[in-house]
Amino acid sequence: MKIGLDIMGGDYAPKATVLGAIEACKVLSADHQLVLIGDKPTALALLEEQGFSADKFEFVHTTEVIGMGEHPTKAIVQKPDSSISVGFKMLKEGQIDTFSSAGNTGAMLVGSVFSVKSIPGVIRPAMASIVPKLKGGLGILLDVGANADCKPETLLQFGVLGSIYAELIYNIKTPRVALVNIGEEEEKGNMLALATYPLMKETELFNFVGNVEGRDIFSDHADVIVADGFTGNVILKMAESFYVITMKKGLRDEFFDRFNYEQYGGSPILGVNAPVVVGHGISNPEAIKNMVLLSRDMVESGLIEKIKQAFQ
């Protein structure tokens, strides 16, 4: 297996990414080859600084970098030798089996859809994130920002994508899927939720358990929480802010600790023809390591094939 990693992506790249690659390398098995995509001389210098053998990695040298604030579509087109553009080209051509980056999220989304493309039948790919559960364990929240406006059919598909992801990556059997809404009852909601509920209620594609309200995001009502990308993004960022607040205030608790994105590595882009993970912009080496491991798990679990089968 070849695991592609953008070493230029993220606020603390390339140092955090190269150090993360080293940490990942230490736990990957011998047949899992990390491919570092980015400025090779810089990577070599960082490895030497750390006293870690460069022989452990493959390198693909690139000369351009897509900045965090750049316009995704323009950047992908105008910077063909950027680490993200090259990564997706390699992923498309099968030179790597998975690609991850803590860089420009929009460019990762655009790159996915332009290069490896959506799985036939998938209306819109989604980005998923984890939410810790109060009683322990994790849930999946999607979409967290790839699609600001959604149709009912798109939300229905997010249920399928999230359900398969929860089952294969987090070993949750027959995941309970719920819809974010402003009431528990079927007749509550905005037009989107009202139109989505009956589709989910009738589907045999996943185990729908009804609506969840804002207060139930962290409770044990559901394993997979479906929202449009606007609402999901607000939920994710609010949850992140609570983690930051409790940390700053020194309020340590096992539950709040499980909000720590570093442990999860990043958000998968679900519904495209290859495993793609987007890391948090502020990723440190630990987060990068876990992004690489998530990337590996997505390959090993056969996630893409499972999603393809579901949409056949």
Chain Cα centroid distance, residue 220: 22
For the bound state, the minimum distance from the C-beta of residue 305 to a second copy, rounded and expressed in Å, comes to 32
Minimum distance, C-beta of residue 166 to a second copy, in the bound complex (Å):
21
- Pick 186 or 240: Cβ nearer a second copy: 240
Contact 7, 13 (CB under 8 A): yes
Q: Which is nearer to a second copy, 135 or 173 (CB)?
A: 135
| Residues 261, 114: Cα–Cα separation, whole Å | 27
Nearer to a second copy, 237 or 306 (CB): 237
Query: In the chain, what is the straight-line distance between the N-terminal and C-terminal CA atoms, in Å?
Result: 26
Q: Which is nearer to a second copy, 81 or 149 (CB)?
A: 149
- Binding residues (CB under 8 A) for a second copy: these are 134, 145, 148-149, 180, 182, 189-191, 193, 213-219, 228-231, 233-242, 244-246, 249, 251, 253, 255
Q: DSSP secondary structure string, 216-262?
A: GTTSTT-SEEE--HHHHHHHHHHHHHHHHHHHHTT---HHHHTT-GG
- C-alpha to C-alpha distance for 246 and 61, rounded to whole angstroms: 41
Q: Which is nearer to a second copy, 35 or 222 (CB)?
A: 222
Using CB atoms within 10 Å of the CB of residue 272, give its burial: 0 to 12 exposed, 13 to 18 middle, 19+ buried: buried
- From the CB of residue 114, how many other CB atoms can be counted at a distance below 10 Å? 16
Q: In the bound complex, what is the minimum distance in angstroms from residue 218's beta carbon to a second copy? A: 6
Q: Which is nearer to a second copy, 49 or 149 (CB)?
A: 149
Look at the block and give the residue holding tokens 């992923």. Answer: 91
- Please state the closest distance from residue 213 (CB atom) to a second copy, in A: 5
Tell me how far, at minimum, the Cβ of 230 lies from a second copy, in Å: 4
Q: How far is the CB of 243 from a second copy (least distance, A)?
A: 10
8 A C-beta contact, residue 131 and residue 217: yes
